[in-house]
Each structure stands twice: as C-alpha cells, then as structure tokens.
Structure 1
Amino acid sequence: MLAVREFRPLLGNFLLSTIGDELARVALTVLVYQRTSSALLSAITFAISYLPWLIGGPVLSALADRLPRQRVMVATDAGRAVLVALMAVPGMPLPALLALMFVLAMCSPPFESARSALVADVLEGDRYAVANSMTNVGLQVAQVVGFVAAGALVTVLDPAGALLIDAATFVVSAIWLAFGLQRRPAPTSDAERQSLLRDALEGFRFIQRSPRLLAIIAVLWLGTAFIYAPEGIAAPLVAELGLGATGVGILLAANPLGVTVGGLAVARLVAPRRREQLIPGLVVLSLVPMVLAGLTAGLAEPGVLTFGVVVALLFVSGLGSAWMIPLNAAFVQAVPASHRGRAFGVAVSGLYGMQGLGALAAGAAAEVLAPSGVVVVCGALGLAAVVLPLLAFVRTQGHVAAERAAAGRSVS
C-alpha cells in the first residue's frame, strides 16, 4: 500500500496528528485532575474533544462531498495548528482552554470524512481493506506512542510545551497534504448542491434505508461507547491503583496496543471472506476483560502488580477490539462512492460522539462509585447492549451487494 503515492500522505499525516492529539489530551486531563481532584471534570476534559462530533459532525462532514477533499484537509489542519498554538499561550485560563479545545474538535469531522473518502477513492477492493487494516493498526500504534510519551513528558514538560508539539504536527500535516495529494474536483457538482443541513440529513436517510448499515452502525456506536468509556476516568483509576501520572499514559496505551496486535492478526492471518464472521466473538472478547479488570482493580491490593494485571486485561480487551477493522470494510462495501463523505460523516460523528458520552457517563458514575466499579459496570452493560445489534449484523450478512445497488438507485 505504501507504494501508492497518494496513500502515503493520507496515512502519514493521520498518524502524526494522532500522536500529537493524544499527547495534548493526556496532558490536559492530568492537569485538570491535579487542579480539581474531580473525576467528572477530568472526564469532561477528556471527552470534550469527542462531543463536537455529535453537535456539528454530520453537517460539517458534508463538506467532504461538496468541496475538493484535498482543500478541506489542508484548510482544517492549518486552522487546527493556529487553535492549538493559542491554547499554548502561558497563563491561559482553564475555561478558555476547554473552549478552544471544543472549537478545535469541530475541525475534525470535515477532515476525517474527507480523508476516509479519499482513501476509498485512491484504493479499491481488497487493497482498500488491506489499507484500512494498515491505517487502523497505525492508528493504534500512534495512540500508544502518544499516550506513553504523554505520560512520560507530562512530568518534565508543562501543558504548553505539549500543545506546541501538537501544533507542529498540524503544520507538518498541512504542508504534506498540500504537496502530496492530487487536486480533484468536488464530488458534488454545483447543480447537485443543497444546504449542508440537507446534505447531512441525506446521510442519515441513506443509512436508515439499509438494514445492513443500521446494524453496522449500531454495533460500532454501542460497542465503542462502552469499550472506551473507562478512558475518561483513567486519571482517578490510576490514583486508585496507587500510581502517578506516568501510569495514566501506560493504562491508556494498553487498549490501542492490543488493537495493534489484534489488527495485524486479523489482516494477515484471516482470509477476507472470514473476517466478518469473527466480529461477534471479537466484540465479546473486547468487553469481558473489562469486567475482570475492574474486579481486579477493586478487590486486589493497590500497587504495581495489580496495575500490571489491569493493564494486561485491558490489552486483551484491545485484542478483541480489532473487530472494528472488518466492520469498517463491511460499511464501505455498502456505500456508493458518491455518498461516502456523508455516510462516513454520520458513522464517525456517532462513533466519536458516543465515545465522548461514554467518557462523561463514566466520569459522572465515578463521583459516586469507585473508578474500578465503573469499569465493571461499563463492561457488563456493554455486553448486554450489543446482543441485538450483533444478531441484526449476522442476519444481514450476504445481502450487501443488493442493498448497495438499491440504495444507489434510491438516492440518484
């Protein structure tokens, strides 16, 4: 895949920005928890970068279908570099930092929708599936690097230093995209354009017409909401286990490291036709270890050994979370190229939005329960929530091609 010239900047800038984002996110989360000792405020800080997807994600994602996608990506990266640099101004009050982070996150929906749609334009068939696996594995590696680096650097760099590093990643990304991607016209012509809101609603209606897409979306949103909810209480959970700020980065890195290994195994060892069949079992594997991790953290003696067991269980949970790779490929196969920007916008907006809501709910629960108890609840509720979506997903397997053709006729 790296031999494809346009795929290199699409992958490289995505990984570079991810490392910087995770570094900044952990630094600010630790800072807020150190200042306030509030699990809820810490979770709000972590979740605020996800919640704008719920508010403006589907509407802003429609820009990826009505403007040249390369231009959308360059403009949003340049804007994010400026916003992050402003966040690094010394003495910036906490409310102002959170407001800037919120605006920063509003740039993500159009960027991610344009990037996802461009990858599907550049690569087709199983090459796209392999590239998608590579991107997902790379994402997890970048998150591991960002989280571990954040945990180590937060003790030697103040948040302003971490934010300046993040701003630099966006500058490099914008330059790379400007010169590394072919300039293509907007997928939607002037005659076909309508309001952004109507474009976004069309994305919702397009998905609603397909039982296959509805099942995929339900598994994706509900599964990730519960799997990633404990990330919002990483700081108080590490404090319960008796470790410091470095432990936050290690704890957060456990799941993406597991996804890295699991994603490689799925991509390299499993035939494409069998990957979808593994999804239900992998979803269960991603949630059961969370219950065990919470029980271990709550019942065992706090210390390095208990922390290590919890991290190992979260790593196993990450192995199961590789289900997102074949699920993404199944989603792409059901969406025609003309609607990928809007469809991706809806899917990714809900994905990040549910992660943000999950983190907020975990933070609120941690105000009345021990963080370890919240992890147990997240795993148990997640198992119950995904049963019906998984049954619908299995029931609609084998009908993608017919539904795709029907959807294409209905929206033309």
Structure 2
Amino acid sequence: MTEQPAGYREIFAVREYRHLFTANLLSLIGDQLTAVALAFLVYHRSGSPLLAALTFAGSYLTWVAGGPLLAVVADRLPRRTVLIGCDVIRAALVLLMLTPGLPMTLLVVIAFVANLCRPPFQSARASLLPDILDGDRYPVANGLDNIVAEITQVAGFALGGLLVSAGSAQLVLAADAATFLISAALIASGLRRCVAATSSPAEPSGSWWSETTAGVRVVFGDRTLRSYLLLFWLSCLVYAVEGIVAPLAGEYGGGARTGGLLLAMMPAGVAVGGVLLTRFCGPALRRRLMLPLAVLSCAILLPVAAHPPLPVLLALLFVSGLAGAFSIPLNAMFGRAVPAAYRARAFGVAMSGLCAVQGLAMLTAGALAETVPPSAVVSAAALTATLAVLAVMTRWPTRALIPQPTTA
C-alpha cells in the first residue's frame, strides 16, 4: 500500500462510489428530516413530550433492537437489491404517514418500521465499499463519509426545523420520500449487479437466528476484530456528555444556546480530525497515531471535573472529537479484516453495540447527574473510558496494526 494518502478526486473517480455517496447523502438527509418532522407532528397532535421523544429516538432504537438480526438481509441477498429495496420501502412508508386522520399510535409504529430499514441499508453499503475501493481509497472514503454524516446530522436537524416552521410537517415528509426515491434511482443506475452481489457464503444458509449468531461469532471469535470493536465502543463512553448536556449547560449558567454549542463541539472535532487524518496523514502514520488518539479522546475530558471556564470546556470537547477521528481508519481496518460473506452482519453488530454503549452511558450519566455536578459526571465518564481503552491496549494484537486484505 502506498504511503501517500489518496485524494478525494481519486475516490470520486470510481463511478460506483459516486452514486453510493450521493445516495447515502440523500438517505441521511431523509433520515434527519423524518426525525424532526415526526417529532413536531407527534408533539403537535398528542401534546406528549415523551411520545415525541420516543418517535425521535426510533432511529437509534432500531439498531439496538434489530441491528445484527436485520443485517443478515444484506448478507443473504445481493447488496444492490437490499439498498434499492430499503429505499423504496422507506419512501412508501413515509408517504403512508401523509394519510389524513392517521391515528397517532399507528404513525409512531410506521415510523419505527421505516427506521428498521436503516440497519440493512447501512450494513449493505458498508459491506460494498471495500469491494469497490482499493488501496488507500477505502479509508479516505470512510473518512469523507464520517465527515458528511457529522455535518448532515447538524444541518439536517436545522434544515428540518426551518422547513417545518416555514411550511408543514407533511411537506417535509413528502420531501423526505423524494430523497429515498432518488437514492434508489441512483443506486439502480450506478451500481453494477456483479459488484453489488454478495460473495457466496462461507457456510450453508441456516435459520435466521443461526446466521445472526454466526456474525457475532465471527467478530468476537477473532482477537483482532474483537479488539477493534472494544476499542471503538469503550472510547465512546465519553459521549455520555450528550445525555446531560442540558444540566451541564445549566451548571454554566446557560440554556439551549449553550447546550447547542456543547453538542456541536465533538461532531465538529470529528469532522476536522477526519480531514486531517485522511488527507494529510499516510496509511502508516494513521496506524501509529490510532492508539494514542484513542486514549487522548477520553483523557482530554478528565479536567472537566475542575469546572473550567466555558470556552475551555468547549475546546476540550472539540479536541476530544478531533482525537476521536481515530475511529475512521479503525473502521476501514475492521471492514477489510471481516470476511466478505459476514461483512454486513459484522457491521450490524458494530453499530448495535455502539448504540447500546452510548445509550447506557447517557442513561448512567443522567442518573448520576441527579446528585453529582454534571461536570464531575463528564470527568467520571472520561476516567472510565480512559481506563477501559488502556485495558484494551494491553491485549492489542500486533497484526491489528497491519491493514487486512479484502476477502473476496
């Protein structure tokens, strides 16, 4: 592998990636618009903050509830078919939500079912990238995808709110359905069937449950893959700060505006770090920096317990996100190390575990913040994450530092 990082021009020279990138961007925008529009719509009709929150959280809950199980679809069927099918189903369900007089409970259920298409879609897409991007193009594309996801998350929420305010939630849902249909058309026209088809499975097809657990066994039965996941999951314990952003802002005498700044710092850091790692660091340097950055992403928040001034707190959160960009080359190494026949299920396991870890960290932080200053809770989460990451590093396999070849 060349030690010079690939450029964005090189990855966009691959026709399949251009179509996948644009389709994914549209799907991400659609997901964010749906979340915002439905939260407003459900709250407006029901007046229930809890029901609105559950509707908003549905996209995250689906990964925990069905990530590994639904990712089997992306290994059983041609991945091109899975991508198109998920987009078409989501478009149809979003259009169904526009039915006048739809009961509120049914609206929430339809939204949850639509969100169930996310795990197979994202797993299928993640599984395709190592096959269509060779050499350093794959980790650079991973970095770009992460940057776009972070920016889309912030911009999508803001755009959704503006569109709902300017028009109506129904108008936003109609636009959302259009994004999924355009995404499906891009995938249908841009991906060759031979590229998108899954390799023959390494084992005979069994029951759905046995295929799901096979993906779990492949990941946790391999020391390298297990180390990748544990490093990623445990470092994300610092995202507990998102669960207590409101009381943390209150501790600093601020409100929603301060909370928004606190929430934006880590994603902004990840976006900048992704550019620095993938565009200005060669593959060997990325691998050398990965473990130190993992520790830094957690340990940098230890001083928060001293209640630093708000600008310092914002800077610490930004640096945490900046170092947290280590997950971008780690994700590429994970994708290349998993056998192609299990790749979608492996990504399903990774995302489900991530959502579960982050959710548990946020709930724990919220419970602690009932009796402990939020700044101290942030520092406690940082200490826990730092110790956990250091523990993973003590058993870090040597071959984990070497990029794994794609298994066809």
TM range (shorter): 0.7 to 0.9
Shift in Å, 1:322: 0.3
Match of 2:361 in 1: 358
The equivalent residue for 2:225 is: 213
1:51-66 alignment runs, 5 A limit: 51-66=61-76
Matching residue within 211, 216, 234 for 1:222: 234
Q: 1:142 aligns with which of 122, 141, 152?
A: 152
CA distance in 2, matches of 1:202, 1:179: 33
Give the residue type in structure 2 aligned to 1:127: R
Letter in 2 for 1:347: A
CA distance in 2 between counterparts of 1:242 and 1:82 reads: 45
Amino acid of the structure 2 residue aligned with 1:379: A
AA aligned opposite 1:111: F
Structure 1 gap segments, 5+ residues each: 301-305
Per mean C-alpha deviation after superposition, the further-off stretch among 333-342 and 264-273 is: 333-342
Would the alpha carbon gap of residues 186 and 265 (structure 1) be closer, same or farther in structure 2, given more than 3 Å must change?
Answer: closer
1:254 corresponding residue in structure 2: 265
Contact in 1 for aligned 2:198/2:341 (Cα 8 Å): no
Paired amino acid for 1:79: I
Partner of 1:204: 216
1:349 aligned residue: 352
Residue type matched to 1:384 in 2?
A: L
Residue in structure 1 matched with residue 8 of structure 2 by the alignment:
none
Say which SS state the counterpart of residue 62 (structure 1) adopts: helix
Report the CA distance shift for 1:234/1:201 in structure 2 as closer, same or farther (over 3 A): same
Q: How does 1:221-370 map to 2 (within 5 A)?
A: 221-224=233-236, 226-234=237-245, 237-238=248-249, 250-292=261-303, 296=307, 306=310, 310-366=313-369
Q: Which moved more, 1:27-36 or 1:10-19?
A: 27-36
Deviates further, 136-145 or 88-97 = 88-97
Aligned to 2:132: 122
Q: Quick check: 54-63 or 236-245, which moved more?
A: 236-245
| Cα offset, 1:262, TM superposition | 0.4
* Distance (Å, rounded) in 1 between the aligned partners of 2:257 and 2:297: 24
Q: Which runs of 5+ in 2 are unaligned?
A: 1-10
RMSD: 3.7
Helix, strand or coil: the match of 1:204? helix
CA distance, structure 1, for counterparts of residue 156 and residue 36 of structure 2: 9
Q: CA deviation at 1:324?
A: 0.6
| Paired positions, count | 394
The residue type paired with residue 192 of structure 2 is Q
Q: 2:393 aligns with which of 383, 387, 390?
A: 390
Deviation at 1:107, TM superposition (A): 1.2
How many Å separate the matches in 2 of 1:372 and 1:92? Answer: 44
Closer/same/farther in 2, CA of residues 265 and 399 from structure 1, 3 Å limit: closer
Instruction: Percent identity, please.
Output: 43
- The one-letter code of the counterpart of 2:234 is L
Contact 1:23 1:146 in 2 (8 A): yes
| TM-score in terms of structure 2 length | 0.81
In 1: Cα distance, 2:123 partner to 2:152 partner: 19
Secondary structure of the residue aligned to 1:341 is: helix
TM-score by length of 1: 0.80
Distance in 1 (alpha carbons) for counterparts of 2:103 and 2:293: 43
Q: Contact 2:224–2:397 (CA<8 Å) still a contact in 1?
A: no
Seen in structure 2, the aligned counterparts of structure 1 residues 251 and 174 have a Cα distance that, compared at 3 Å, is farther
